[in-house]
């Protein structure tokens, strides 16, 4: 009980920290922020329900006015801006990523990578693209063009999410609540 609570809070903090670490530290040349890696890890390590709760907790703090999104952004304005779709999609993405890891009982690195692709890319992009289409008055195909530059970076992050989840499962098996 207490352990669930602190781990959920820890992963909410992880999303924030991954947005604060300068992106150059993580991958040379590729324009990625690591924040969506945090979303993926919430799902793959904590599982569907707890992962989504961790992301919701993070969003509460952003909405309340803490500048925790990549680039020091925060506040209520984000939830009506063109990128609002991604914010709405964050908890769903973590939930789906966690669901894949919980249900697909192969080696955890493989199912975590698959979960990160399905949740953190497919589901998240669906929400993000719909959000941009709505706020910018574009059709869905036009809005998808705006999201494609981020695809290579996000694929790298999905692989990283798989590797990191696998390592945590080996070093701290009890911490991987998605397989508990």
Partner 1 sequence: MLTLISSHRTWAHEVAAGWKLAGLCVATLLIVQATGLWLGLGLLAVLALVASGGVGFAGAWVRLLRPLWPFALIVVLWHLWLRAPATGVTILVRLVAAVGLANAVTMTTRLSDILDVLTRLARPLSRLGLSPRMLALSVALVIRFIPVMLARHDQIRDAWRMRSARRPGWRILVPVLLATLDDADRVAEALRARGGAG
Output the smallest distance, CB 54 to partner 1, in A: 9
User: What is the distance of C-alpha 126 from the center of its chain?
Assistant: 14
Tokens describing residue 10: 């820890």
* Residue from the set 42, 47, 50, 58 that interacts with partner 1 by CB under 8 A: 58
**88 lies in the binding site for partner 1 (CB under 8 A):** no
Tell me how far apart the alpha carbons of residues 63 and 70 are, in angstroms, rounded to a whole number: 14
Query: 21-40 mask for partner 1 (x: CB under 8 A)?
Result: x---xxxx-----x------
Query: 111-150 mask for partner 1 (x: CB under 8 A)?
Result: ------------------------xxxx---x---x----
CB neighbour burial string for 42-79, b if at least 16 within 10 angstroms, e if fewer: bbbbbbbbbbbbbbbbbbebbeeeeebbbeeebeeebe
Output the smallest distance, CB 52 to partner 1, in A: 13
102 Cβ contact list (under 8 Å, min separation 6): 47, 48, 178, 179
Output the smallest distance, CB 165 to partner 1, in A: 10
Output the smallest distance, CB 16 to partner 1, in A: 5
Asked if residues 27 and 36 have their Cβ atoms less than 8 Å apart, the reply is: no
* Residue from the set 8, 40, 93, 123 that interacts with partner 1 by CB under 8 A: 8
Question: Which contiguous run of DSSP H or E holds residue 176?
Answer: none
The SS3 call for residue 124 is helix
Q: List residues near partner 1 by CB under 8 A.
A: 1-3, 5-10, 12-14, 16-17, 20-21, 25-28, 34, 57-58, 60-61, 63-68, 71, 73-82, 135-138, 142, 146, 160, 164, 167-168, 171-172, 175
């Amino acid at each position: 009980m207490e352990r669930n609570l602190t781990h959920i809070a820890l992963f909410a903090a992880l999303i924030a920290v991954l947005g604060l670490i300068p992106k150059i530290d993580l991958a040379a040349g590729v324009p990625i922020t690591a924040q969506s890696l945090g979303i993926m890890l919430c799902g793959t390590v904590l599982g569907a329900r707890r992962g989504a709760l961790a992301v919701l907790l993070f969003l509460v703090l952003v909405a309340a006015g803490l500048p925790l999104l990549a680039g020091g952004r925060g506040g209520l304005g984000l939830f009506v801006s063109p990128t609002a779709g991604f914010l709405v999609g964050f908890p769903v993405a973590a939930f789906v990523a966690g669901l894949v890891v919980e249900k697909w009982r192969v080696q955890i690195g493989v199912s975590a990578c698959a979960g990160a692709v399905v949740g953190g890319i497919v589901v998240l992009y669906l929400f993000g693209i719909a959000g941009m289409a709505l706020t910018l008055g574009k059709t869905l195909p036009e809005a998808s063009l705006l999201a494609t530059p981020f695809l290579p970076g996000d694929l790298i992050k999905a692989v990283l999410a798989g590797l990191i989840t696998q390592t945590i499962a080996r070093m701290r098996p009890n911490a991987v609540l998605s397989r508990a």
